[in-house]
Amino acid sequence: MRIFVCIKVVPDPERASEITLDPQTKTVRREGIPLVINPMDKNALEAALQVRAQQGGEVTVVSMGPPSVEEVLRQSLALGADRVALLCDRCLAGADTLATARTLAAGIEKLGGADLVFCGAESADGGTAQVGPQVAALLGMAHAVYATAFSLRDGIAEVTVKTEDGEKVLQGGLPLLVTVSREINQPRGIRFSEIVKARKKPFNVFTAADLSLAETCIGEQGSPTRIAGIADAKMERRGEILEGEPEEAVAKLMTILRREGAI
């Protein structure tokens, strides 16, 4: 079983209050904020490790990022992944979700293709939830998003996914890409003995040339998305004093609550 996990290294969401936006470049300022594995990607890795434990096979982590993410990505080896492929090249910078998906899909193909791909449903910084499905489309795979449960028996996967109304259960064969939500599992912690074992596991870096990707379809050049502007979302509490006698105030309050759909 060839299992892949797409991982993004993001600024620590616990320190989200320290993240600012650069109005000139319209990008996130990440300086000084520690990097971590995107939390939902940890769930994706855990799901992959559980499948490997039942079905055997190899778990490969694939990630696009600058050299500075290497130390964080090595944690995935200590968590149990068999190898890591970092797709790292200056010309990959500035990629939108489509260019990112093209790069990740090329990385997966370069490493022999996948029977099963797990991704976090969304990243803690971008939060678009687009990359997983785009990778699936580029690889010609079926996909399921926001999975809360996954099982695989006799080559048939059963995936429970969250919907706006509740949840539904999907069944399908492989190859398959699944994006997972936090509820799917409790990611394991790092055992120190695995840190030692990780020393011997392969950590390979691939450039755009290694992936045979044309510069026009990757990085900023290959990204159709243009950010027109950025603005801070302001959250404010709104207060309203209801004047008059208690009965009158209560009547006004009831009218407001009905109008706002609270009752």
Partner 1 sequence: MIDFRFTEEQDMLRTAAREFAEEVIAPLVPQMEETDEMPEEILRGLGERDFLALGIAEEYGGVNLGHVAKMITIEEVSRVSVAVGMMLQVMHLGIEPIVAFGSPEQKKKYLPKLASGEHFATVGVTEATGGSDPTGIETTARLEGDNYILNGRKVFITNAHVAHVAVVLAKTDEKEFSAFILSKDMPGFRAGRWEHKVGMKGCDTGELIMEDCVVPKENMIGKPGDGLKVCMKAISEVGRAGMAAVGLGLIKACLEASTKFANERILYGKPISRLQGVQFKVADMYLDYNAGMLLSYRAAAMKDRGERCDVEMAMAKYYVTEAAVKAAKLATEIHGGYGVMVEYATQRYLRDAAVLNPSAGTGDIQRIVMARAALS
Which residues are near partner 1 by CB under 8 A? 71, 74-75, 78, 189-193, 195-196, 199
According to DSSP, the residues that pair with 152 across neighbouring strands are: 157
Measured from the CB atom, is 39 or 57 closer to partner 1? 39
CB 161 within 8 A of CB 129: no
Helices 70-79 and 39-55: crossing angle in degrees, nearest 10, is 30
CA distances from 144 to 54, 119, 227, 228 (A): 21, 10, 28, 31
Measured from the CB atom, is 27 or 68 closer to partner 1? 68
Least distance from C-beta 128 to partner 1, angstroms? 27
- Segment (H or E) for 121: none
Least distance from C-beta 193 to partner 1, angstroms? 5
Least distance from C-beta 158 to partner 1, angstroms? 29
Measured from the CB atom, is 75 or 97 closer to partner 1? 75
Measured from the CB atom, is 231 or 235 closer to partner 1? 235
Least distance from C-beta 36 to partner 1, angstroms? 8
**Cα gap 109→118, rounded to integer Å:** 15
Reference 4, options 63, 47, 62, 52; nearest CA is 62
CA distances from 106 to 63, 92, 110 (A): 11, 13, 6
Measured from the CB atom, is 196 or 249 closer to partner 1? 196
Least distance from C-beta 195 to partner 1, angstroms? 6
End-to-end CA distance of the chain: 52
Measured from the CB atom, is 18 or 22 closer to partner 1? 18
Reference 140, options 185, 180, 109, 184; nearest CA is 109
Measured from the CB atom, is 29 or 191 closer to partner 1? 191
Least distance from C-beta 69 to partner 1, angstroms? 12
List % helix, strand, coil for the chain (3-state, nearest 5). 35, 25, 40
Least distance from C-beta 194 to partner 1, angstroms? 8
In order, the DSSP letters of 62-97 are: EEE--GGGHHHHHHHHHHT-SEEEEE--GGGTT--H
